[in-house]
Amino acid sequence: MSDQRLVRPAPISGFPEWLPEVRMVEQRWLDRIRDVFERYGFCSVETPSVEVLDVLMSKGDTSNEVYTLHRVQNDGGASEARLGMHFDLTVPFARYVAQHFNSLTFPFKRYQIQRVWRGERPQEGRFREFTQCDIDVINVDQIPRHFDAELPRIIHEILTELELPAWTININNRKVLQGFYEGLGISDPLAVIRIADKIDKIGADGVAGLLTSELSLEPRQVSACLDLAQIRGTDASVVDEIRKLGVTSPLLDEGLDELSFVMDELSDLPSGSVVADLSIARGLDYYTGTVYEGKFVDWPNYGSICSGGRYEDLAGSFIRRNLPGIGMSIGLTRIFAKLVAEGIVKPGPSSPSQVLVAVPDETRYALARATAAQLRSRGINTELYHQADKLSKQMRYASRKGIQYVWFPPFDEEGIHEVKDMATGDQAPADPAAWGKSINPA
């Protein structure tokens, strides 16, 4: 032990870290998410953690959240000062598609599961380092509407497989909003969208006030906007409700057509899990059609657990091609951390081992090692205890690590192996060449 002054290790605010038994669950989640993405034919892409600042800033609005990289002792090279950590996976993906345009097959369908970094003030549901799970489709000139329905179906399948507490995926269409506002004779529909998006935070009265004071809308316009924002429904019948408001415009027709297509396509999903909600707008200006926002039912103010939408021109800063896209993102860390904090995520075992092969004494070490190797070769995760020791100590080690089976090798190759099930206490003879067919796969 050194006599030097200790550096006390402590958590860093906004940078989550898990014990092994919790990480085990997170890893299982990540595996499931990846499985579903691949089941639908999305390929994996990873990009560097950094982009040059010009790329990160090409969308303009997040500059003070970006972390930039510097050397402790800068050697005079200025190049690194231009690097920033990515704050989402959409901008890096747009850059990736533009850069590798000639090597990709379109429509290009990728998933990307990576950490992102934001220099925000940490608070519940907001981290400085967190893992996002994104899928996007990007194509030349047009995105078939098939994807407007397939993406929420994929995310639905994932959220279902993860057995999360009650949630909904809310769906809207920016063309419906914009077309409706245009039909009302409003000259700046985007300004209305930006204000209407705050309805969660400031309520209908707050929105009405801003529409009047900031945009000088007439009472009839304000009232129609609020009527629209209050429409919610679990199927395409919301379209009739919207039409009943008596507003028309070509863009509105287009949006309603798209919205009813999506709701119809998803009508086989459990009722209430996908909801058309005309109040959601997704603040980001680049969405142009279908938009998505998932929420926990019991924690409506916790923030979205997934979100996304259709955009016309995300790579336009990087390449002179028309590359529209559609994407959704699961906020893995936000969801996972909440469910850990609520005690809903139950920690797994702290070891992936299914079997601990005991070493009762030094003479049986070689046979124990051979037995462990044999079990491993049969696909069973097997730990060999690291030295001859009291059996009670070895069994306690297995219990603490959540290893279900302890294996006792015989004294010689002719002897009989035995296995103890730590869950039931049963101990029985076992053949290392055949045992374990009924245990759960690793």
Residues in region 31-50 near a second copy by CB under 8 A: 38-50
Q: Please, what is the end-to-end C-alpha distance for the chain in angstroms?
A: 38
How far apart CA 176 and CA 172 sit, in angstroms, is 8
Three-point CA angle 348, 352, 354, nearest 5° = 105
Residue 400 touching a second copy (CB under 8 A):
yes
- In the numeric block, which tokens belong to residue 148? 């407007």
Tell me which stretch binds a second copy (CB under 8 A): 2-10, 183-191, 200-208, 328-336: 2-10
CA pair distance 76, 280, nearest whole angstrom? 49
Dihedral sign for Cα atoms in the order 269, 273, 277, 280:
negative
Check binding of 78 to a second copy (CB under 8 A): no
Is 334 annotated as contributing to ligand binding? Answer: no
C-alpha–C-alpha distance, residues 226 and 198, integer Å: 12
Token code pair at residue 142: 């047009």
282 is in an annotated binding site: yes
Q: What is the C-alpha to C-alpha distance for residues 414 and 54, in angstroms, rounded to an integer?
A: 71
- Structure-token pair, residue 196: 């209407």
- Contact between 194 and 208 under an 8 Å Cβ cutoff? The reply is no
Kindly state whether residue 346 participates in binding a second copy, applying the rule CB under 8 A: no
Q: For tokens 């999506």, what's the residue?
A: 262
Confirm or deny that 30 is annotated as ligand binding. Answer: no
Is 88 labelled as part of a ligand binding site?
yes
387 counts as binding a second copy under rule CB under 8 A: yes
Q: Which of 184, 216, 350, 358 binds a second copy (CB under 8 A)?
A: 350
Closest CB to a second copy among residues 83, 256: 83
- Our finding on whether 409 is near a second copy (CB under 8 A) is no
Interface residue with a second copy, options 32, 99, 215, 418 (CB under 8 A): 99
261 touches a second copy (CB under 8 A): no
Using rule CB under 8 A, residue 75 touches a second copy: yes
Q: Which two tokens stand for residue 164?
A: 């999360």
Angle (nearest 5°) at CA 59 between 54 and 63: 70
Q: Is 286 annotated as a binding residue?
A: yes
Q: Count of residues binding a second copy (CB under 8 A)? A: 100
The CB-of-437 to a second copy minimum distance in angstroms stands at 17
CB of 130 to a second copy, least distance (A): 10
- Shortest distance in whole angstroms from residue 296 CB to a second copy: 25
Hey, which residues between 145 and 174 contact a second copy (CB under 8 A)? 146-147, 150
- Residue 179 backbone phi and psi in degrees, to 5: -65, -35
> Binding residue per annotation — 132?
yes
Closest C-alpha among 348, 370, 347 to residue 359: 370
In the list 61, 63, 165, 203, the residue contacting a second copy (rule: CB under 8 A) is 63
Is residue 118 part of an annotated ligand binding site?
Answer: yes
| Cβ atoms 111, 67 nearer than 8 A | no
- Which segment (91-99, 181-189, 295-303, 333-341) binds a second copy by CB under 8 A? 91-99
Site for a second copy in 172-211 (CB under 8 A): none
178 is in an annotated binding site: no
Going through 278-416 in order, the beta strands assigned E by DSSP cover 287-296, 306-311, 325-330, 355-357, 382-384, 405-408
Least distance (Å) from a second copy to the CB of residue 279?
Answer: 30
Nearer Cβ to a second copy, position 103 or 438? 103
Q: Cβ of residue 429: shortest distance to a second copy, in angstroms?
A: 23
Instruction: Please tell me whether residue 16 binds a second copy under the rule CB under 8 A.
Output: yes
Q: Does 121 appear as a known binding residue?
A: no
Q: Is the peptide bond before 107 cis (omega within 30 degrees of 0)?
A: yes
User: In degrees, to the nearest 5, what angle opens at C-alpha 258 toward C-alphas 254 and 261?
Assistant: 140
Residue nearer to a second copy on the CB measure, 82 or 232: 82
Q: Does 422 bind a second copy (CB under 8 A)?
A: no
Four-CA torsion 367, 373, 375, 377, nearest 10 degrees: -150
Annotated binding site for L-histidine: 88-90, 118, 132, 136, 282, 286-287
Annotated binding site: 88-90, 118, 132, 136, 282, 286-287
